[in-house]
Amino acid sequence: AQSVTQLGSHVSVSEGALVLLRCNYSSSVPPYLFWYVQYPNQGLQLLLKYTTGATLVKGINGFEAEFKKSETSFHLTKPSAHMSDAAEYFCAVSENNAGNMLTFGGGTRLMVKP
């Protein structure tokens, strides 16, 4: 069965600092991996996804994530945080033969200090 663990339910960074949100997954087959972002009072929006091919994936708003099979990780990074990045971020995994069972992590709330 697939599962996702996001380390740290809350992360606080200063504006301009590096953002690092951690995601580890378990999957019995090659996974598809996603990061979604949720701004206050809104639904989730896709930031980026990894299916196959290049392991470094670039998404919207300057975010990127690297798939590391040996570490079963898919951490999300951004070189320089902006106030508008404050939101909740969800990592999700799906096994490529699992139909519609997209499994989400518990979420990490990112706070950006001025």
Partner 1 sequence: NAGVTQTPKFQVLKTGQSMTLQCAQDMNHNSMYWYRQDPGMGLRLIYYSASEGTTDKGEVPNGYNVSRLNKREFSLRLESAAPSQTSVYFCASGQGQTATNEKLFFGSGTQLSVL
Measure the CA–CA gap between 41 and 31, rounded to whole angstroms.
30
Residue 43 touches partner 1, criterion: CB under 8 A: yes
Measure the CA–CA gap between 61 and 42, rounded to whole angstroms.
17
Stretch of 20-28, 44-52, 58-66, 73-81 lying at the interface with partner 1 (CB under 8 A): 44-52
Choice from 17, 64, 86, 102 touching partner 1 (CB under 8 A): 102
Residue 51 touches partner 1, criterion: CB under 8 A: yes
From the centroid of its chain, how far is CA 113? 21
Nearest C-alpha neighbor of 21 from the set 96, 102, 70, 86: 86
Nearest C-alpha neighbor of 85 from the set 35, 49, 50, 51: 35
Nearer to partner 1, 99 or 114 (CB): 99
Residue 59 touches partner 1, criterion: CB under 8 A: no
Which x/- pattern over 60-99 shows residues binding partner 1 (rule: CB under 8 A)?
------------------------------x-x-xxx-xx
